Copies of this chain bind each other. A is one copy, B any other.
């Protein structure tokens, strides 16, 4: 599958590329800086992953709206602006992913991958902990993305409609708080009681 990473020159994008490329996917790095990547990568891809900082989220969606229409758009952006990253802040409408859907109504927005450490992803071969919750209103897009999560070496789980992205995004602030509090790096979320 051809996967475009918009904002893919950051840590998160590099981490995803580290895992998806050996799994047989073609990863295209997009960047708003033409020196760093192709800012029209989206048009040539089956799936587009938004890995921009929240401060650039709305502008990126507006800029790429034409190319994203009809595409599966994986939104892992969390509505946090440094330094206040350990306290939940809700954007208007409750979730960045819902903003994305509003800005590009024809996109097939899937909210997921908020809780996966870019550092852990980048260490090829490292076992990744936690489950990956997937929220979307598009059943076909969900199946595609659950497959891509499996290709990262993780268990993807259906976490309901896109409205539930509020929970995933908000939990990111909690995990960042707990990283600091418990002196860990890359704490994740797991669903208890699914096995057995």
Contact = CB atoms under 8 A, between A and B. Distances in A.
Interface of A: 86-88, 90, 94, 129-131, 133, 135, 157-161, 163-164, 166-168, 170-171, 173-175, 177-178, 181-182, 184, 186-194
What copy number does this chain have within its complex? 2
Contact of A90 (B90, B184, B189, B192): B90
Contacts of A190: 189-192
A161 B87 contact: yes
- A interface, over-half SS: mixed
Nearest to A95: B88
Contacts of A186: 193
Given A133-B174, A158-B178, A164 B87 contact: yes
A159 B170 CA distance: 12
Contacts of A160: 86-87, 173-174, 177-178, 181
Contact of A178 (B88, B159, B166, B181): B159
A6 B161 CA distance: 33
Given A129-B193, A167-B171, A167-B173, 19 more contacts: A86-B160, A87-B163, A87-B164, A88-B163, A88-B164, A130-B193, A133-B174, A158-B178, A158-B181, A159-B177, A159-B178, A160-B173, A166-B166, A166-B170, A167-B167, A175-B191, A186-B193, A187-B193, A190-B190
Nearest to A182: B194
A102 B178 CA distance: 25
Q: What are the 10 tightest A-B residue pairs by CB atom distance, in nearest-first order?
A: A167-B170, A130-B192, A188-B192, A160-B177, A129-B192, A190-B190, A190-B192, A88-B166, A187-B193, A167-B171
